[in-house]
Structure 1
Amino acid sequence: MSNDPYSALGLKKSATDAEIKKAYRKIARTHHPDLNPGDSTAEAKFKAASMAYDLLKDPEQRRRFDAGEIDATGAEKQPERKFYRDYAEQPGHGYGNTHGYEDFGDMSDIFADILRQRQAQGGAGGAGAGFGGRGFDARGADARYMLEVDFMDAVKGGKKRITLPSGDNLEVKIPEGTRDGQTIRLRGKGGEGYGKGPRGDAYVTINVRPHKVFKREGDDIHITLPITIDEAVLGGKVPTPTIHGTVNLTIPKGASSGQTLRLRGKGVKRGSKKGDQKVELQIKMPPNVDADLEKFMQDWRKDHAYDPRKGMTS
């Protein structure tokens, strides 16, 4: 991986959290290995972007990286470790990870990669043999996947299956309140280990489909609720959708378009905490202005005219 996660995402150090997320999703959608089978360049770019995003999406990790406290893998910076990584990543060096597997600073991954190279070159001994004929045990490679889920599956939780290239199915439990871009770790669901080594892990990045009614901001849900002229003038209770079902919302007399009402505890639940639902009112005219409505408004305006734009012009 590049020593600069910002470069891996094509960004500058001043990038906002939203820009980091947007850049990662763009790369993931165009360079994911499932979409580019056999394209090692695309795979490498996707993996570099995934590692960069894992580091930078966490505010504390990003702060520590920017301050020089940790390296691009999230490991504490130490002189010996830095020397090794600088040496190992020199072009042509045999210890570079060139097969697209994730390098999380785990030495077993590096040795596993060496073993793969030896096997590819016809080295003797197979998975149970190592250097000088000694036994070789190494953790399997980690695997990365993307999973697109419906908005309601993300906020309410559920289970989904991913069909792997091998034809096997991987069941993914979606926790309640899962965010767009969140990565779920499945222990022991990655590549086979070498010798007596354990399996690697699987990392599943969640892509949440937009909803036609609900919009999520943090743990709050936002909606725009159309109301009639009479509901705006007279007030009353109107049925309002929430992610937990329909509730009756009290509209105050004299409500205006753009006015926002709050439904406490009707947002996304994560653990013991619940967000709210914010309802922005939008007054909708009737499909047709009939003669009765037109005459009523003409008569009303004669004695009740007012200027909502007062003070906007000189």
Structure 2
Amino acid sequence: MASDDPYQTLGVSRTASAEEIRRAFRAIAKRNHPDLNPGDAAAEARFKAANAAHDLLSDPEKRARYDRGEIDASGQEVPPRGYYRDYAEGAQGARYRAGAGAGAGAGAGPFGGGGWSGEAGGLDPDELEEILGMFRTGGTGAGPRRGRDAHYRLAVDFLDAVNGATRRLNLPDGRDLDVRIPPGLEDGQVLRLRGRGSPGSGGGPDGDALIEVAVGPHPFFERDGRDLRMRLPVTLREAVLGARVPVPTPRGEVMLTVPPRSDAGTQLRLRGRGVAEAGGTPAGDLTVTLRLVLGPVDGRLEEFLRGWEPERPFDPRASMRREA
């Protein structure tokens, strides 16, 4: 059973940074996500508990209120001190027990011959009036309550996460949500749509929609923070003589200059062609690593190589022998 303490649920200290909280949540989510553990109710419960804990602790305002004891682990308001004890035992029993036990005598009590002693339970008269007012009006004491958050999962293409996009999420109840994907979104991040969760009660605000994002892979791009990497095939002629070759990038094709006598493994950088700019963060770069591809070999090349001897012979396996 999950802990009621969100810090314990995520396995972090109460002084953990926002990044530590995010990493802890992602680790739990990757191990226990329902899609990876079909039919495992325990894993699903751990995932939901971690999601709720992350939702609370990743919001600075909610985290501060929880630390002050103003809300509980589910984000609900915590009633004033003494409320649960007084309500459960009855206003009179909780408020006046001390007065009756202090020598008030038979029949003494809040409305008996002895009257109210004014010392019952150590609670002030204003607090007493609040509780008694609930019983006089027949109220339950429950004020406006915020609606519960709704949790969803959205699959996002690699390039949509790199460039940013808007995608539509179809909800089980038939509604649609248009979800804005900010540039640079990472796999496992959770997006919050304010007020798109369950409706509140008693005039309270609606809950939020929390959308966990699953970013798919790409056939040849790999991500490293805000930078991207790819391997680019080049021919022997292009590598030896140099060339201008087309290179696909997340935002369209560009021409890349391959310097003459480039070796396989040569890295070239295309600035600003990585993850798109977002919120003042500059765009990342695209690092291109050359991969030599011979392609069809004709007789003329074979004949040339048989009669060719380099001026400075080179052994590409020398370093392997040194390490052996």
- Relative to the length of structure 2, the TM-score reads 0.66
Question: For the residues of structure 1 that align with 2:56 and 2:284, how far apart are their CA atoms?
Answer: 26
Aligned letter for 1:289?
A: V
Equivalent residue number for residue 196 of structure 1: 203
Question: For the residues of structure 2 that align with 1:77 and 1:192, how far apart are their CA atoms?
Answer: 22
CA deviation profile, 1:132-162 (whole Å, cap 9, x unmatched)? 4156320100111110011122122222222
Check the 8 A contact 1:21/1:53 in 2, yes or no.
Answer: no
Check the 8 A contact 1:108/1:139 in 2, yes or no.
Answer: no
Question: For the residues of structure 2 that align with 1:137 and 1:55, how far apart are their CA atoms?
Answer: 19
Check the 8 A contact 1:108/1:138 in 2, yes or no.
Answer: no
Aligned letter for 1:219?
A: R
Matches within 5 A, 1:36-55: 41=42, 43-51=44-52
Q: 1:234 aligns with which of 230, 235, 241?
A: 241
Equivalent residue number for residue 16 of structure 2: none
Aligned letter for 1:208?
A: V
Ranges in structure 1 where 5+ consecutive residues have no aligned partner: 9-14, 62-72, 86-102, 115-129
1:210/1:54 Cα in 2 relative to 1: closer, same or farther (>3 Å)?
Answer: farther
Ranges in structure 2 where 5+ consecutive residues have no aligned partner: 13-19, 85-133
Aligned letter for 1:195?
A: G
Percent identity between matched residues is 41
Q: 1:178 aligns with which of 185, 194, 217?
A: 185
CA deviation profile, 1:205-251 (whole Å, cap 9, x unmatched)? 11111111211111111111000011111111110011111111111
Check the 8 A contact 1:154/1:175 in 2, yes or no.
Answer: yes
Check the 8 A contact 2:32/2:44 in 1, yes or no.
Answer: no
> What's the secondary structure of 1:300's corresponding residue?
coil
Q: Does 1:24 align with 2:33?
A: no
> What's the secondary structure of 2:173's corresponding residue?
coil
Q: Which has the larger radius of gyration?
A: 2
TM superposition shift of 1:31: 7.0
Q: Does 1:284 align with 2:290?
A: no
Check the 8 A contact 1:31/1:46 in 2, yes or no.
Answer: no
> What's the secondary structure of 1:30's corresponding residue?
coil
> What's the secondary structure of 1:199's corresponding residue?
coil
1:52/1:20 Cα in 2 relative to 1: closer, same or farther (>3 Å)?
Answer: same
Equivalent residue number for residue 15 of structure 2: none
Q: 1:308 aligns with which of 300, 309, 316?
A: 316
Check the 8 A contact 2:11/2:24 in 1, yes or no.
Answer: no
Aligned length: 252
Question: For the residues of structure 1 that align with 2:183 and 2:26, how far apart are their CA atoms?
Answer: 21
Question: For the residues of structure 1 that align with 2:184 and 2:264, how far apart are their CA atoms?
Answer: 30
TM superposition shift of 1:106: 3.7
Question: For the residues of structure 2 that align with 1:169 and 1:218, how far apart are their CA atoms?
Answer: 31
1:169/1:235 Cα in 2 relative to 1: closer, same or farther (>3 Å)?
Answer: same
Moved more, 276-285 or 293-302: 293-302
Aligned letter for 1:50?
A: N
Check the 8 A contact 2:10/2:24 in 1, yes or no.
Answer: no
1:76/1:257 Cα in 2 relative to 1: closer, same or farther (>3 Å)?
Answer: farther
Equivalent residue number for residue 152 of structure 1: 159
1:309/1:242 Cα in 2 relative to 1: closer, same or farther (>3 Å)?
Answer: same
Check the 8 A contact 2:25/2:51 in 1, yes or no.
Answer: no
Equivalent residue number for residue 99 of structure 2: none
TM superposition shift of 1:177: 2.4
